[in-house]
Chain A
């Protein structure tokens, strides 16, 4: 009886994990076959990360069973898991930057002995690279490698020890389209060698492209495990969200007006005094969304900082509706009509310990009617807050609730409510839907589109190409601090943008 071939490689049975009253995984059950690519699909907040942590040993489930290679297993640590054959590549890499690939891979290995002679190990790693068709200089320090190459080192860590199951957590979030293609090629090769891959993602097109089966999680529960060939983006979306979800964005082409934001030859330094933004020029017109694509680290944060007034411009000019705002303070720029949605909500946009209503006036707390003679008018502020909460559908217990208790989507709604409640000429948004579920993301888009109707202009900095293709009118690409190229939405394609993102003109 071929039970070994028939029984699944990994079987998760009724796995439960809670944090306090919050149930992250609710009786999750699914199987993964040997040598197969399976996707774990779920929105942000569905419980994918928690489940992954339980499978690869970082977390102990409250109840349920994990059966691996026919035996029930409990892992005491990720190290324990990888020894038994399950490895994981995280979204945020855990590499030592000054060390090279070989050193990063063998760190923690007991077999290398007390005195290091890495010849044998280097050969083994080189062979693995050849086997999978990946080439780069193994002696370079990690800090000099591209994100795609760093990710490959993370994968190598697991391949080096020899895993049977590899989990990849949102691996394409940081890659250019071409790097994604290379990653998928590597994954296909892995499964051909008999290694199973569980790809954790929230992107439907990836699921359709690469997986054989997909397990859909929603609000902590396994909704279904289906064969990809029998599914479509629409059917998966229905499982994902629970109802028919219309992915269309109601974008009405608005007639463009005069430029609201002009950036001319802008140069901005990083904290370490190197040039982050280098002679960058961009123009955003009223009524349009200009998308700015690019691999993170090419100057986007410094550009954002300069536009809102937190960082000084070394050179160049920034004009808001014709007025030069280079050396103005953040308060002045905000008062002149520049709205901003920062990348890190709780760090840059909100004071976590403050209540909803206090955050709603943060930045405008100096203005009438919220403040007169240095004294805050809490009654007026309360009224405004209650309006904002109902207007922007902020799910909160009330204006007095501490903002750090809100979910990611509601945090973003607080920021939007604050930024959009006062007159806006231009809006700069940086990764506005990162970490948000589909409903919250589309809410953000709808609010952005409303702004266009009043002839405001939006600069949308985002690493999510799908998002840019969804709502932008033009897409520019930032590379090494300047604009490498720009396409109108009609002319743009994933390949063209991907090449620009990689620095190829």
Chain B
């Protein structure tokens, strides 16, 4: 009885989900193995992570708070990646958004607007800022076919250094030794939900997820984005202005990443503080890939990652394992997911030997 390996025609939702489950299972098993090797009790550690992420209302709130910025950057990535425009600049666009909102606040300190107007205005400013930072590589790509990966990555550095400069200079809180601005006025604070620490940003992110779904699959622009991504040549022949789509995609992607920056500083820190982003932009890229470039997948993936981060603090309390172990788990999950997705694309087939 001979067997052969061949590629499946179509992977389908069932097998796709199964591959994710297998990947998670294998990752957890491997992580457990590592915990045991370290000398810790696997059960205690896993329970600690779970308790820390979902075990109480407070834990759940913290998980959702941590999920918010990466949910938004993940959505920003969906827009770009669906068009196969490789935006790696979410981190920089996020900074641009935070700095844009900060700029408005610091420039107009005595605005005295009611929160209902002030906050949307600031979020809008952060979106515009992110859009501009995304529009630069977008324009260069559309008009001159400049590689967007290089430009977006470079712009990440530029804006982060600019931010450091400003926080150490004109924007620094007078008398402070640290790189941060003055505290923002209360009218800029994102309202908290249900008397908890969970700020409005989470709902904004969920709403954005829904809007992105609607855009990509129900709107003409989304259709053109997907067409450009899947076959830019045919898209061109059939009348889609692929350059225009490229630019709009980067503007949108930048805007959503900028929104993530604005939401984070207006919801959590209430000031622009150096290091407010622990790589949210880059994590967003991973979230997008894990969520298979779909808003629902990104929502789930971002909550999952938020949970892991949250749980890692508890894990550190209950065991000797350092928080950074959670980064190892995340890396493992990503590799496993890619691996098992590839494996499930093939299958074994029996060949009958007819004499």
Contact = CB atoms under 8 A, between A and B. Distances in A.
Contacts, number: 86
Contacts of A348: 233-234, 237
A329 B241 contact: yes
A308 B223 contact: no
Contacts of A330: 236-239
B231 interface: yes
Contacts of A349: 234, 237-238
Given A350-B231, A354-B227, A375 B238 contact: no
Contacts of B238: 330-331, 334, 349, 362-363
Interface string A2-34: 000000000000101011100000010000000
B317 to A, nearest CB: 47
B59 interface: no
Interface in B192-229: 218-221, 223-224, 226-227
B233 A374 contact: no
B105 interface: no
> Interface residues of A: mostly helix, strand, loop or mixed?
mixed
Nearest to A332: B239
Interface string A342-386: 100001111111100010001101100001001110100000000
Nearest to A378: B218
B351 to A, nearest CB: 5
B220 A308 contact: no
Nearest to A333: B239
Nearest to A308: B237
A63 interface: yes
A349 B237 CA distance: 7
A199 to B, nearest CB: 29
B352 interface: yes
A63 B352 contact: yes
Contacts of B13: none
Contact of A20 (B6, B239, B354): B6
B26 interface: no
Contacts of A331: 238-241
Contacts of A371: 220
Contacts of B234: 347-351, 362
A20 B9 contact: yes
B353 interface: yes
A35 B354 CA distance: 31
Contacts of A342: 237
B330 interface: no
A247 to B, nearest CB: 33
Contacts of B320: none
B10 interface: yes
A402 interface: yes
Contacts of B10: 402, 405
Interface string B2-19: 000010111000000000
B9 to A, nearest CB: 6
A375 B219 contact: yes
Contacts of A347: 231, 233-234
Nearest to B6: A20
A402 B223 CA distance: 15
Interface residues of A, number: 38
Contacts of A329: 239, 241
Best-buried of B6, B223, B234 by chain A (most CB within 10 Å): B234
Contact of A14 (B9, B221, B239, B354): B354
Interface in A305-345: 308, 310, 329-332, 334, 340, 342
Contacts of B352: 62-63
Contact of B220 (A19, A20, A62, A366): A366
A14 B354 CA distance: 9
Contact of A62 (B226, B235, B351): B351
B230 interface: yes
B78 to A, nearest CB: 16
A376 B220 CA distance: 6
A330 B238 CA distance: 6
Contacts of A353: 230-231
A340 B223 CA distance: 21
Contacts of B227: 351, 354, 362
Contacts of B240: 331
A332 B239 CA distance: 8
A354 B238 CA distance: 14
Best-buried of B227, B238, B239 by chain A (most CB within 10 Å): B238
A257 B227 CA distance: 38
Contacts of B354: 14, 16, 27, 63-64
Contacts of A365: 220, 223-224
A405 B220 CA distance: 24
A366 B238 CA distance: 11
Contacts of A340: 237
Contacts of B223: 358, 365, 376
Contacts of B221: 374
B220 A310 contact: no
Given A14-B354, A402-B10, A352 B231 contact: yes
Contacts of B6: 19-20
Nearest to A61: B351
B314 to A, nearest CB: 43
B9 A405 contact: yes
A63 B351 contact: yes
A352 B9 CA distance: 13
Interface string B308-344: 0000000000000000000000000000000000000
Contact of A375 (B220, B236, B239): B220
A374 B230 contact: no
Contacts of B9: 20, 405
Contacts of B241: 329, 331
Contacts of A63: 351-354
A199 B19 CA distance: 47
A349 B352 CA distance: 39
A340 B10 CA distance: 30
B237 A20 contact: no
Nearest to A347: B233
A365 B235 CA distance: 11
A329 B235 CA distance: 13
A20 B224 CA distance: 34
Best-buried of A14, A332, A334, A363 by chain B (most CB within 10 Å): A363
B81 to A, nearest CB: 14
B165 to A, nearest CB: 41
A373 to B, nearest CB: 9
Contacts of A376: 218-220, 223
**Closest CB pairs A-B (n = 5):** A331-B239, A363-B238, A353-B230, A351-B231, A330-B239
27 contacts: A20-B6, A20-B9, A20-B349, A27-B354, A62-B351, A62-B352, A63-B353, A64-B354, A308-B237, A331-B240, A331-B241, A332-B239, A334-B238, A347-B234, A348-B234, A349-B234, A349-B237, A351-B234, A352-B230, A353-B230, A362-B234, A363-B238, A365-B220, A374-B221, A376-B219, A376-B220, A405-B10
Given A330-B238, A332-B239, A366-B220, 4 more contacts: A20-B9, A330-B236, A340-B237, A347-B233
